[in-house]
Amino acid sequence: MRIIAITVSLFFCLTLGGSAQPADLQITTDPRVKVLPDRSVTIRWTTNIPARSWARYGTESNDLNRTANDVTENGTTHNVTLSNLRAGTTYYYQVVSSAAGIDAVTFVHRFTTRGKFVAYETRPSSPSLR
């Protein structure tokens, strides 16, 4: 009876432990904002494994009611363009990357557009809630 229990236990250890698990999804570089000349900005960040990504944004930090998708699906370098932005406005944004049912989400960041559409970015000060 003892030999059977050891054999079954060994079989389950080899079967369950032998499969490779995917790496945990992580955002590996903080998002960076680049100003484009047509009242737009591009937000760029990277992840450690290929992921589907997007940005949530809006003019209130607690109401990110717009979404812009990454045009390159399942890559590790992500670029999202926010278009038709208003001059002289503060925008808040959060980037999200998703792979294998796991979401990696950043703090809420912000940038402000100026009169002639020059944007500057400030660093987040506190974690955001999902």
Where residue 67 sits, what CATH number does that domain have? Answer: 2.60.40.10
108 close to 64: Cβ distance less than 8 angstroms? yes
Quick check: is 6 in a domain? no
Average pLDDT (51-79) is 95
- Domain range for 50 is 24-122
- φ and ψ of 7, to 5 deg: -65, -45
Distance from C-alpha of 123 to C-alpha of 30, rounded to nearest angstrom:
10
Indicate the pTM of the whole model: 0.72
Mean pLDDT of the chain: 80
DSSP symbols for 18-80: TSPPPPPP-EEEEEEEEEETTTEEEEEEEEEEEEEEEEEEESBTTB--EEEE-SSTTEEEEEE
The pLDDT value given to residue 130: 38
Q: CA neighbours within 13 Å on the CB side: how many for 124?
A: 17
**Taken in order 90, 104, 77, 48, is the CA torsion positive or negative?**
positive
Average pLDDT (108-122) is 74
Quick check: is 89 in a domain? yes
Quick check: is 51 in a domain? yes
Quick check: is 130 in a domain? no
Quick check: is 90 in a domain? yes
Higher pLDDT residue, 71 or 4? 71
Nearest by Cα to 103 from 42, 40, 30, 54: 54
31 close to 77: Cβ distance less than 8 angstroms? no
Quick check: is 3 in a domain? no
pLDDT tens for each residue of 43-61: 999 999 999 999 999 999 9
Per the structure, the count of domains in the chain is: 1
Quick check: is 4 in a domain? no
